[in-house]
Structure 1
Amino acid sequence: MKINLLPKNETKWRWMLGLSMGCWTALSAQTPLPLTDVSAFKNPTKTWSIVGGVTGSPKDAALKGQKGTGVLLATPGKGSSQTDYLVTNTEHGDLKLSLDFMLPQGANSGVYLMGRYEVQLYDSWGVQHPKASDCGGIYERWDENRKPNGYEGHPPRMNAAKAPGLWQHLEVEFEAPKFDGSGKKIANARFVKVVLNGTIVHQNLEVFGPTRAALFTDEKARGPLAFQGDHGPVALRNISMELLDKAPVTVGPVQYTFYTGKFNTIPKLDTMKAKPVRTGTAEKLSSVLADGRSDFLIVFNGTIQAPEADNYQFILQWMELGQLIIDGRTVFDGELSFDKPRTIDVPLTAGEHKFTLLHAKNKSWLPKVLGLYVQRKGSHLQELHGFGSVPDTDPVPVITVHPRDQVEQVRSFVYMPGYNEGDGHKKLRVLHLGDPSGVHYSYDLDQATVLMSWRGAFINMSDAWHERGEAQTASPLGSPVLALWGTSPLGMAGSTTPDSTAGLVYKGYRLDEVGHPTFRYQLAGGEFTDFIRPYENGRGLSRTVSLKDGSNLAYRLAKGKTITALSKGLYLIDGDYYVQTGAKAQVVTNNGGQELRVSGSPSVQYELIW
């Protein structure tokens, strides 16, 4: 086992704030690109067509289209060239972009921001050490006179790519290069964030010029979005764009008044008897202007200049009590904590608006936090508070575990998706298995269920092992994460709701020579066993479930909304992952969904591939 204690620049609450901010910036109004035809693009070639859907598989080098609309499909031929790029009629500067894409085996494509800066789309399934040419990478710039020719490429932080034939999701927040009045570049283009399949693979990354095979060699303030169509098949859907070109609000200096004392509610200022300790003027509101960490009230008064009539989103962040008043109307009054910010929609007319913000804090052990943000459709998120108002605190370590030459096992609690501490939905007996091949999983010992599996780095144990531990939980370090919550492999044959986990009795596990466990249970009058190991050098999991001396048991290999048989023994589950088996399986409708079941067999082997 290898355990790393890495310095972390932010505490847990600050990290959670960062996650919240990521959610806030996603509150956008992206405009879907209509895909009923190709009229949104300039002179599209026959390489591109509109279809109603596509299918692939882990080993197919092509994608098959179905009749209909809503999906763009590229099928380049031998003579394909840069003329087969698909270029939007719309040009953009700063931009938020989201889309789904599908690649067959070995395929290569790309998304060019402004037709100049490429985010690579590539079949990188199973690559353990990604390069700039792998999926999610920012491709190299190119110069025939340099050695090497390629330079300034940026590989993704980790390989978050899925298997060929699965839909994948890409989100990009991009800032265009900036120019002064004379046309001189004063700021480089920047990828604010690139998210592949839910994993941040780039953040705050500058690019100094167009990447290889761009449509243009120069740089400008605006340009079209382009999709590479000459290197291999690719399918695209759900393409949405938000142009971030609206003017920001402006905020003048604020007047502040500071009071000491315990305020259990936000008082009415016109009847309050407390005398201020200090008053003054500041460039921006800030928690730093309050003395100490508790027993105070601070009041800010200022003006916001709205550039035009619109709906503005104010995002509030403080510890304990606060109130925001705009134009004499209380838009929010209540208690907040660092991990639960509040977003308030406020319609504003063009022009000046007065605001008052009050904040009271009484608990010294809580950090001093005060944040006020604003955004609207088509604009960047703005911080209206000053530096240090949402501060960092003392660093804590990130404690990671990495398997070397054998399987590693660690235990922790795990929260079910959508629930937090105190909700009562915590899995208490979870074993995390890390394999040197780079594929790992979390196993619920109570229900014989693989809760989730992932590739890449193994696990973060900080919450369980740092000091006394907090929630006693662990989290995957790798990506993509395959969530299999509630998919027990057990059921009674013939039942419409085949879940026999109520009669399951855990009996421990045996380890093979490299540490792969065989889980043992008593069930249905016999012994149920579950053996899991890596598949194809970490590209998936192979699972063998069996029942000895038992009866009337069905195996449930998968469940979902839609299960599609792609070929003999290969099934697609909700478009998220594949199940492959040599057993005679049956798709059964159950509780409004579908299940893949095998009955009448003492043992079944199958693979989970994603």
Structure 2
Amino acid sequence: MKIKFLTLALLLAAVTVLAQQQDESMRMKPGMTEIWDPEVPIITPGTTPTDAPSDAIVLFDGVDIGREWTNADGGEPGWLVEDGCVTVKKGTGIIKTKRVFEDFQLHIEWRSPTEVVGESQGRGNSGVFLQGRYELQVLDNYNNRTYRNGQAGSLYKQHPPLVNACKGPGEWQVYDIIYTAPRFNDDGTFFTPPTVTVLHNGVLVQNNSKLRGPTEYIGIPEYTVKKHGADGIQLQDHGNPVSFRNIWIREL
């Protein structure tokens, strides 16, 4: 009888040990949620946050605007290049990148004229058009009030900036833009809208803002045209001598 009880006890002990081992094998361990491959790509950051990192495409180096940009007709840009920047030359029209993009991080620095001329929308007006159709407004809004969804840092006529972070006339200002392009259904409607995040002079002014359609000066922005794919960056000639420099982009 003692032998039977001993055998049963040993069997129960073995079952208990096996159950504990199985329970231990099923318990989550730190390594189960560690992802090692593929390794995160390594890039070299710029010396300062405004300098282009190693994986960026430099769209304007302060010298040659014709290398990456054209006018509206595909010819040489008519804007003035001097002192490391490019300045709108009234009446020459937009300039646009030769390359086309979808999702990206864009860095661009701009400066309204030192001499203050005009007010509201007539003062230091230009624009950065994402995929050639969604405008991030450029405007001198230092002590210059205008409609809130048309001031600097606005996604024109759609989203006002969270704050007015403008520097004074003649001072260089910075836009850092994170853009996710829309994706479309076969019928031309979008199933994910374009989204934009913008830092103006290091201050968040657009926080993952969703656009409802291309920029319109008059009317409600809607998708009334067929779906579009990758497209260029455009800078606007609005008749004011706004300057730009240090333009680079990272495809995401």
Same fold (TM over 0.5): yes
Secondary structure of the corresponding residue to residue 150 of structure 2:
coil
- Of 211, 222, 234 in structure 2, the residue corresponding to residue 226 of structure 1 is 234
CA distance in 1, matches of 2:99, 2:139: 25
* CA-based RMSD: 2.6
Structure 1 residues 184 and 155: CA distance shift in structure 2, 3 A: closer
Q: Which runs of 5+ in 1 are unaligned?
A: 1-25, 53-69, 141-152, 245-610
For the pair 1:33 / 2:33, whether they are aligned, the reply is no
For the pair 1:205 / 2:209, whether they are aligned, the reply is yes
Name the residue aligned to 2:152. Answer: 135
For the pair 1:73 / 2:90, whether they are aligned, the reply is no
Q: How does 1:11-410 map to 2 (within 5 A)?
A: 29-35=55-61, 36-37=63-64, 38-42=66-70, 43=74, 47-52=78-83, 70-76=84-90, 80=91, 84-104=93-113, 105=116, 106-127=123-144, 131-140=148-157, 153-180=158-185, 184-191=189-196, 193-212=197-216, 218=225, 219-244=227-252
Q: How does 1:496-575 map to 2 (within 5 A)?
A: none
1:549-604 residue CA offsets vs partner (Å, 9 max, x unmatched): xxxxxxxxxxxxxxxxxxxxxxxxxxxxxxxxxxxxxxxxxxxxxxxxxxxxxxxx
Structure 1 residues 165 and 44: CA distance shift in structure 2, 3 A: farther
Q: Is the 8 A contact 1:127 1:159 kept in 2?
A: no
Structure 1 residues 213 and 227: CA distance shift in structure 2, 3 A: farther
1:439-478 residue CA offsets vs partner (Å, 9 max, x unmatched): xxxxxxxxxxxxxxxxxxxxxxxxxxxxxxxxxxxxxxxx
Structure 1 residues 91 and 213: CA distance shift in structure 2, 3 A: farther
Partner AA of 1:109 in structure 2: S
Structure 1 residues 155 and 44: CA distance shift in structure 2, 3 A: farther
Partner AA of 2:105 in structure 1: K
Displacement of 1:185 after TM fit? 2.2
CA distance in 2, matches of 1:128, 1:232: 17
Equivalent residues, number: 183
TM-score, normalization by structure 1: 0.28
Structure 1 residues 186 and 94: CA distance shift in structure 2, 3 A: same
Displacement of 1:94 after TM fit? 0.5
CA distance in 2, matches of 1:202, 1:139: 12
Q: Is the 8 A contact 1:30 1:96 kept in 2?
A: no
1:366-401 residue CA offsets vs partner (Å, 9 max, x unmatched): xxxxxxxxxxxxxxxxxxxxxxxxxxxxxxxxxxxx
Q: Which one has the bigger helix percentage? A: 2
Secondary structure of the corresponding residue to residue 239 of structure 1:
strand
Structure 1 residues 211 and 32: CA distance shift in structure 2, 3 A: same
Partner AA of 1:50 in structure 2: V
Q: Which runs of 5+ in 2 are unaligned?
A: 1-48, 117-122
Name the residue aligned to 2:5. Answer: none
Identity percentage over the alignment? Answer: 28
Q: Is the 8 A contact 1:130 1:156 kept in 2?
A: no
Displacement of 1:184 after TM fit? 4.5
Partner AA of 2:169 in structure 1: P
Structure 1 residues 238 and 187: CA distance shift in structure 2, 3 A: same
Q: Is the 8 A contact 1:98 1:169 kept in 2?
A: yes
Partner AA of 1:30 in structure 2: A
Looking at both structures, which has the greater relative contact order when contacts are Cα pairs under 8 Å and sequence separation is at least 6? 2
